[in-house]
Amino acid sequence: MNAKQERLEELYKKHRNNPHSPLIVDHNPRIIFGEGSADATVMFVGEAPGRDEDIQGRPFVGRSGQLLNKTLEKCGIARPDVFITNIVKTRPINNRTPNEQETARSLPVLLEQIDIIKPTIICTLGACAAAALLQKPISITKLHGYAIPFGNCILVPTYHPAYILRDPNSYQYFLADIEFAIQMAKKAQKQTIV
Ligand code: URA
């Protein structure tokens, strides 16, 4: 285990073993911290786990996850080489959009994950994730595909895969945004190596 993996594990342990953790909620869903490489240069951030994720204890394993996997493959990057997580770490009751309190309770954990992993690019999936990180309401139709400075990295908002499943004509934008995010991360990595 490298230093980043150890720090992530410490963070997860702190919340798992603490009945007062802000991540613990009444309806007692699983806490799903995220998965992937602790050394990832690209981090994907969704909204919150759904039913499939709660069952399997992993982020993006349902239909949205399958679309994300297919897109990563098309962009020439393997899922284990990126880091995938959500703003909210537990499934909201009835799969509804997380409310402000749920977002505020989970956000510090995501910020710690970002601080440990230090990705070059954060690709947010859906308006909820971009708005939570940018701390303002956003229009995903207007903002998707832009490179927005965020701390020491760049945030690239794109659509939520669940939206693309409902409107397959928009897949071209989703694919282009993710391709852009991955290309930027690869370019930054090359510049660091040279
Ligand atoms: N939708 C999300 O936003 N996150 C998941 O993990 C799965 C579906």
CATH number of the domain that 134 lies in?
A: 3.40.470.10
Tokens matching residue 83: 């880091």
pLDDT at 27 over 90: no
What pLDDT, on a 0 to 100 scale, did the predictor assign at position 116? 98
Q: CB of 60 closer than 6 A to ligand 1? A: yes
How many domains is the chain partitioned into structurally? 1
Query: In which residue are the tokens 């699983």 written?
Result: 30
Distance from the CA of 49 to the center of ligand 1, in angstroms?
4
pLDDT band at 104 (very low <50, low <70, confident <90, very high): very high
| C-alpha 25 to ligand 1 mean position (Å) | 18
Query: Is 67's C-beta closer than 6 angstroms to any atom of ligand 1?
Result: no
Q: Report the pLDDT value the prediction gives residue 194, as an integer from 0 to 100.
A: 66
What are the pLDDT digits (tens) for 169-193? 999 999 999 999 999 999 998 887 7
Give the sheet arrangement for strand 35-36, strand by strand.
Answer: 35-36, 83-86, 42-46, 121-125, 153-158, 148-150
Cβ–ligand 1 distance for 29 under 6 Å, the answer no
Q: Does the CB atom of residue 44 touch ligand 1 within 6 A?
A: no
Show the domain range for 46: 3-193
Tell me the per-residue pLDDT of 127-141, one tens digit each, with 9 for 90 and over.
999 999 999 999 999
